[in-house]
Amino acid sequence: NSLNPNVTAADAAEKQKVWEADRDHFMHPWTDFSTFKETGSMVFTAADGVSIVDADGKRYLDGIGGLWCVNIGYGRKEIAEAVADQICAIPYFSTFGHHTTPPAAKLAAKLADLAPGDLNHVFYGCGGSVANDTAVRLIHFYFNQLGKPTKKQIISRIDGYHGSTYMAMSITGVKFDHVGFDIDQQLVHHISCPNPYRRDPKLSEEEFCRQKVDELEQKILEIGPDKVAAFFAEPILGAGGVIVPPKGYHQATLEVCRKYDVLYVSDEVVTAFGRLGHMFASQDEFGIVPDIITCAKGLTSGYLPLGATIFSDRIYEVISKPQADGAIFTHGFTYSGHPVSCAAALKNIEILEREGVCDHVKDVGTYFEQRIRELGELELVGDVRGRKFMMCLENVADKRTKALLDPRAKVGNRIADACQKRGLIVRPLAHMNILSPTLILTREHVDFIAETLRESILEVTETLREEGFLSH
Ligand code: PLP
């Protein structure tokens, strides 16, 4: 992790130029511009394997896999070659109507093969938000064609994250994400988050589960089953704080949806393509076959943008009947089925399969989970949750009462900074820290992450005590 002696004065000048251009002109996503104007960005210039390298030549273990997405790790020449070959063969052509290219067709067949049940049809966009927006448009079209035009309302959960387009953000239930913005309030309804850590301590986990499932049923009855079209849920709520719902929750919510003819959309933007040790987690990890799965991120391991909305034969049959009013599926994007992104995805899936990445995650991901869980013994860590390579530490002021620290303590940021100093990138999220590394970590990498986090958390605990943020 030492500075690279090969960084020259010309490199330093180039870095300064990039830093200034970025600070002055690149409007970053999800950024507080009041501080960005002063601090600007860290510049990263290289990456390989499990690590990234900054413009000073300092290497960091990437504990967040880019943004829960670089599943196969960095520097895969095979992907570069597949992409280059596709660009030379045919870089782009419209897929509107009756035109296609081999990668788009082959990838759709591959996804149909990997997805559970009768989810055999694939619509492409450029990311997760668009995959969810597409799901909404598809669902509305489906119910219109089915002769149930009142069925339009969407139910999702507080702390669910579904993206940043207008519709996906409206379905998102992370309250912080809505501050200062508007969301659609005609179509979307939020029910509470199935977070076992924050449940009423008088309830057993089973009772808590029942309560959350009943809440979904009550919400459907309150709105009217003839009006509710779909329920959107991540198998593990990711950006809301890696919340694993109680055992049985997924099956029970799916049953409620089936009872009222409500479509179940499983948002697998984070959980698909190996993160939990399966290509898709809905059935293999949680025992459900939803009506629609949305995915992105790990689909190309982040090498190129791509998202997909994978849906059932049942939906396809309805939307593919000749429509009396002449309606066709007027939805799609210039880049739907982009051949270069699809070629990257095909190669990515080939690598995941050939290298047995899911089995690796079942092995080393389980070790990762165990090492991260050990941090739960630290004074500051109230909860450690998640599965395999998707974990979160919730930091608190008092483990017994679960009271939070004063937000001015910025505990998540402090821990992330302390880790960064030691050559590890973790993600701060309010008072929490999230880990979603590449899926190719070795046990030695896992030990480095666990030990670096421990040292960093202990250091931050002492500073917080000195500054009076901890009462004991
Ligand atoms: N759904 C989930 C569960 C996500 O975590 C994300 C992004 O983090 C999205 C949707 C949105 O995906 P994108 O940022 O590719 O639009």
Instruction: Measure 432 CA to ligand 1 centroid, in angstroms.
Output: 19
Q: What is the DSSP string of 113-172?
A: HHSSTTEEEEEEESSHHHHHHHHHHHHHHHHHHTT-TT--EEEEETT----SSHHHHHH-
Same domain, 108 and 159: yes
Last residue within a domain, chosen from 308, 334, 354? 354
Instruction: Measure 269 CA to ligand 1 centroid, in angstroms.
Output: 6
- Which residues have any ligand 1 atom within 6 Å of their CB? 127-129, 132, 161-163, 234, 238-239, 267, 269-270, 296
Is 3 a residue whose pLDDT tops 70? Answer: no
Q: Best substitution site from 64, 161, 172, 271 to test ligand 1's pocket, by max atoms within 8 Å of Cβ? A: 161
Q: Best substitution site from 124, 134, 275, 297 to test ligand 1's pocket, by max atoms within 8 Å of Cβ? A: 297
Asked whether residue 202 is assigned to any structural domain, the reply reads: yes
Instruction: Measure 129 CA to ligand 1 centroid, in angstroms.
Output: 6
Same domain, 56 and 162: no
DSSP letter at 4 equals P
d(CA 37, CA 332): 37
The CATH number that applies at residue 227 is: 3.40.640.10
Same domain, 121 and 256: yes
**Which residue's CA lies nearest to atom 10 of ligand 1?**
162
Same domain, 157 and 272: yes
Same domain, 291 and 350: yes
- Our count of domains for the chain comes to 2
Last residue within a domain, chosen from 296, 319, 354? 354
d(CA 217, CA 213): 7
d(CA 437, CA 453): 14
Question: What are the pLDDT digits (tens) for 178-211?
Answer: 999 999 999 999 999 999 999 999 999 999 999 9
* Containing structural domain, residue 186: 78-354
Same domain, 169 and 208: yes
pTM: 0.97
- Interface predicted TM-score (ipTM) over 0.90: yes
Question: What are the pLDDT digits (tens) for 18-64?
Answer: 999 999 999 999 999 999 999 999 999 999 999 999 999 999 999 99
